[in-house]
Amino acid sequence: MYQNQRRQYPRDTFEAPILISEKPDGHYTDALMQNNSRSGMCLICQYQLDSGTGIYINMSETGYSNIYRGFFGRVTWCRGLTCPEDYNDRFGVGIHFIVKSHNYFGGIGCMIDECCDVCGEKISFDKLMQTDDAVFQCRNCHDALKKYPEGKLKSSITNYILGNIL
């Protein structure tokens, strides 16, 4: 486990242009991803977002075939940025991922393929199972985790899957 007081996973500094929206209707706003981890990202946008707001994120461009292209997450924090000058009148936003996909969110709505949050398998959205903690699992992972008895081990696995925001 990554040894940091506030995070379970290390952040990778990877600046990239992204598109964000509160609805998957094709009306996106430009933003900039500053860093990301297995279960979250920090981005810079031009307007303030309330904590708990659901946000759709599309990578603008990526040169990698195995990188996720679409995300849905919740805003965990939002702060105004005052420096450097390039970021005046902008907001830093922390996002906790709920859904990651190898496809983009687009004008019609949901993506065709999603990924299991446990094993990363590409699978159609209608075949994913959502837990009470908003974790999306394929049938195999769901059945495997269901077999564990309630207790410390199952709790640790669930916390690991939930990710980076402690």
Q: What is the pLDDT of residue 146?
A: 82
Q: Which residues contact 89 (CB under 8 A, 6 or more apart)?
A: 46
Residue type (1 letter), 102 = H
18, 32 Cβ separation under 8 angstroms: yes
Q: Average pLDDT in the 115-140 region?
A: 72
Tell me which of 2.130.10.10, 2.40.10.220, 3.90.79.10, 3.40.50.720 is the CATH number of domain 14-111: 2.40.10.220
State whether residue 142 is helix, strand or coil: helix
Say what the pLDDT of residue 132 is: 66
Show me where the domains of the chain are located.
14-111, 113-166
pLDDT tens digits, residue range 27-74? 889 999 998 888 789 999 999 999 988 898 988 765 554 567 888 899
> What pLDDT is attached to residue 88?
63
Give pLDDT, residue 125: 67
pLDDT given at position 14: 79
- pLDDT confidence bin for 75, thresholds 50/70/90: very high
Whole-prediction pTM = 0.59
Q: In this predicted structure, what is the pLDDT of residue 83?
A: 65
Gap between the terminal Cα atoms of the chain: 13
Average pLDDT, the chain: 76
